[in-house]
Structure 1
Amino acid sequence: MLIAFFVNDMETEHPGYTTTVLAHEATRRGHRVCYITPGDFMLNPQDELHVHARFAPTKKARTASEFFKAMQSAEQDPATIDICEVDVLMLRSDPSLDAQSRPWAEGVGIIFGRAAAARGVLVLNDPDSLSLAINKLYFQSYPEAVRAETLITKFASDVKQFAKDHGGKIILKPLQGSGGQSVFLVGSENALNINQMIEAIARDGYIIAQAYVPAAAKGDIRLFLMNGRPLQIGKKFAALRRVSSKDDIRSNIHAGGTAEAVEITEKELRVAELIRPKLIADGMFLVGVDIVGEKILEVNVFSPGNLQSCSKLAGVNFATPIIAAIERKVEIAMEFTGNFDNRTLAVM
């Protein structure tokens, strides 16, 4: 099986990223792996879709770090292949990272992901649904019961009224973006700065104002869901608690947050169950859900991270069941050729 991983840029990849962990596990299980980036697609005059792919060396690496070093050396020597040679295309880029600096690249994975699916390649997550998730408005399509009360606007007066209605304590963030970029907590201590916060976000687009969930003070829980259900090995869940530093409200690990082991209770499982039908309907194979109390703050359907940290904290390798699930999908696709569309097969 050949698995192609679509990423923003080879230079910004990291040995600890979930993509690296998954790619390494795939090679460990005997599969071929390649990486492609937004500028690597080519549609020829015969309407054949080709990609300039960077292949992992055939020698198996013992660790994800060793695998990553080997991929770095392979970056300089891409090979051109027909997309039909690829069994699985995993869309692992974060479109928001390209929105400002390379707007042409923002939707490339989705555009060519659709073209690949039309040619019989299994594309995960489903590109048609990912096109709807390009900004956080997609989040509003999940059940109201699990969402914090939210306002989306560009008018400062709307935001201020929302803050007043919620006792002056709310979260502000951009409609587009990820990784905790431009996220502000409005409270009594900084209420006089709300105009500057609004201006900073509105400069680049719409503003999301969200009711503050008190449980967020203890951090949020990142829980991986696969095929619509919590990812687990035995009784161990692919999850962790992300706790923000004392001087930052953001719990994102790269923004200074720390990862801690967490026990998944019936409360989190109920939240996961409530959003499962939506994930199944949209063909979302692998997602990361951020949970606070009984609410979800975000559903990362593009490039959910922290899988390696979850594995270390639990003492198991959560990449193994993920690649095993992909193997099963490919087997089904080969046995029942043409019987299932990409969205259905993505979550089977």
Structure 2
Amino acid sequence: MKIAFLMDPLENIQPETETTSHLMYECNERGHTVYFLEPHDVYIRGGQVVARMRNITVQQGLNMAAYWQAIIRCTKQEHLVFETITEMDALFLRSNPPLNYQTMEFLQTVNNHVFILNSTTGQILGNSKLYILNFPEIIPETHVSRDPSRLRKIIDDFGGAMVVKPLQRFGGEGVIKVSTRDRENLNSLINYYVRAYETYARREPIMVQEYMKSVKQDGDIRILLLNGEIIGAMRRKPKKGDFRTNVHAGGTVFPHQVTARERRICEIIKEKLIADGLYFVGIDLIAGKLVEINCVSPGGIPRINQLNNDRLEQKVIDFIEHNVHRMNSSAHRKRA
């Protein structure tokens, strides 16, 4: 199979701890032809979606560090492959947020011809923190506004600490805890996040969410879902003096057995995820409530593998292979 990875520059990735590198490695080990491209490499030629790619298929059997160095060398070569996207069997969209909407629009036209993980439509719908609002019965108290006075009133009325989240960032970036006990800083932070100096229409809406006190002691739960089914989970605890559990923010990971309550949440969101083409996602739960759904380059495979002596990337590539065969069989029947 020809499998392409649309992602960030390889030099920016720590391969031992990144999910993308493990997926690429597994494809290479299975003998698939692997291609690398970045969001700006996609364009239109004669009405077809084309991309500048590099073939990064290398010898099998290397360890991860040697494999990564080998494929970086491939990207330094001058030879570029110009392929129509429909020549690919599968395309992984693994570039970190924020989403490149122009690239998504280009790729939207080939969704029915190439198996894309996750689908462009799904990523457009699910890339911001607003996607959890599809499931109001299982999320903490949540508000979104660009009006500083309204946001202050929400926090006042709530009467306790709340969490402020920019809608388009990832890895815990920009997430802060606020309360009415420090009103001067609260006003300043809200004004800064919504860009209160702009006209109302140009301001940035932000999310304010109930602060779950248990996160300080118990952390949160990251569950990886593949086609709506649980394939792995871990507990993440914040570093001392912080409440953010993201590993990029200094969080530490621990093994976790998924509870009945957590399984029920996964069942509630399953149908919507699959309908939107969000086949591979990471969800974050605190105190039995859904706080985030990560569909743009979700991570966690290497750390869960290490905790459980597993190889979750194998399940993802099995899923890709199955769906490519299904799409090819369907296309063959239509031609017949």
Q: Secondary structure at the match of 2:190?
A: helix
> For the residues of structure 2 that align with 1:246 and 1:287, how far apart are their CA atoms?
28
Shift of 1:272: 0.8
Residue 242, structure 1, aligned to residue 236, structure 2 = yes
1:90–1:108 CA distance, 2 compared to 1 (3 A): farther
RMSD: 1.9
Which residue identity lines up with residue 84 of structure 1 in the other structure?
Answer: T
> For the residues of structure 2 that align with 1:322 and 1:159, how far apart are their CA atoms?
41
> For the residues of structure 2 that align with 1:133 and 1:247, how far apart are their CA atoms?
31
The 8 Å contact of residues 95 and 107 in structure 1, kept in 2 or not, is answered as: no
Match of 1:90 among 89, 92, 95: 92
1:144–1:248 CA distance, 2 compared to 1 (3 A): same
1:299 matched to which residue of 2?
A: 293
Alignment of 1:18-167 (within 5 A): 18-45=19-46, 47-77=47-77, 78-96=80-98, 106-118=100-112, 120-141=113-134, 143-167=135-159
> For the residues of structure 2 that align with 1:63 and 1:189, how far apart are their CA atoms?
52
> For the residues of structure 2 that align with 1:283 and 1:221, how far apart are their CA atoms?
23
The 8 Å contact of residues 4 and 90 in structure 1, kept in 2 or not, is answered as: yes
Which residue identity lines up with residue 28 of structure 1 in the other structure?
Answer: E
Residue 284, structure 1, aligned to residue 278, structure 2 = yes
> For the residues of structure 1 that align with 2:8 and 2:31, how far apart are their CA atoms?
25
> For the residues of structure 2 that align with 1:257 and 1:333, how far apart are their CA atoms?
40
The 8 Å contact of residues 180 and 186 in structure 2, kept in 1 or not, is answered as: no
Shift of 1:84: 2.3
1:229–1:166 CA distance, 2 compared to 1 (3 A): same
Q: Secondary structure at the match of 1:117?
A: coil
The 8 Å contact of residues 113 and 123 in structure 1, kept in 2 or not, is answered as: no
Shift of 1:166: 2.0
> For the residues of structure 1 that align with 2:64 and 2:104, how far apart are their CA atoms?
27
Gapped runs of 5+ residues in structure 2? 196-202
Shift of 1:187: 3.5
> For the residues of structure 1 that align with 2:240 and 2:21, how far apart are their CA atoms?
30
> For the residues of structure 1 that align with 2:102 and 2:14, how far apart are their CA atoms?
21
> For the residues of structure 1 that align with 2:126 and 2:278, how far apart are their CA atoms?
11
Shift of 1:338: 7.6
Q: Secondary structure at the match of 1:287?
A: strand
> For the residues of structure 2 that align with 1:283 and 1:57, how far apart are their CA atoms?
27
Identical aligned residues as a percent: 31
Gapped runs of 5+ residues in structure 1? 99-105, 232-237, 341-348
1:8 matched to which residue of 2?
A: 8
The runs of 4+ residues in structure 1 deviating greater than 3 Å are 8-11, 187-192
2:221 matched to which residue of 1?
A: 221
1:178 matched to which residue of 2?
A: 170
Q: Give per-residue Cα distances to partners, 1:36-76, cap 9 Å, x unaligned.
A: 1012123223x232211122233114333222211211112
2:303 matched to which residue of 1?
A: 309
TM-score after normalising by structure 1:
0.87
1:345 matched to which residue of 2?
A: none
The 8 Å contact of residues 127 and 294 in structure 2, kept in 1 or not, is answered as: no
> For the residues of structure 2 that align with 1:3 and 1:206, how far apart are their CA atoms?
37
Which residue identity lines up with residue 207 of structure 1 in the other structure?
Answer: I
Q: Secondary structure at the match of 2:91?
A: strand
Q: Give per-residue Cα distances to partners, 1:1-48, cap 9 Å, x unaligned.
A: 111111133342331211110010111112111111012123223x23
The 8 Å contact of residues 14 and 68 in structure 1, kept in 2 or not, is answered as: no
Which residue identity lines up with residue 124 of structure 1 in the other structure?
Answer: L
Q: Matched residue pairs, number?
A: 323
Which residue identity lines up with residue 62 of structure 2 in the other structure?
Answer: R
Shift of 1:191: 4.5
Q: Secondary structure at the match of 1:95?
A: coil
> For the residues of structure 1 that align with 2:107 and 2:64, how far apart are their CA atoms?
26
The 8 Å contact of residues 165 and 207 in structure 2, kept in 1 or not, is answered as: yes
Q: Give per-residue Cα distances to partners, 1:252-276, cap 9 Å, x unaligned.
A: 1011111111121112111111111
The 8 Å contact of residues 42 and 103 in structure 2, kept in 1 or not, is answered as: no
Bigger shift: residues 57-66 or 281-290 = 57-66
Which residue identity lines up with residue 147 of structure 2 in the other structure?
Answer: F
1:60–1:150 CA distance, 2 compared to 1 (3 A): same
1:301–1:11 CA distance, 2 compared to 1 (3 A): same
> For the residues of structure 2 that align with 1:161 and 1:42, how far apart are their CA atoms?
46
> For the residues of structure 1 that align with 2:41 and 2:97, how far apart are their CA atoms?
16
> For the residues of structure 2 that align with 1:72 and 1:241, how far apart are their CA atoms?
33
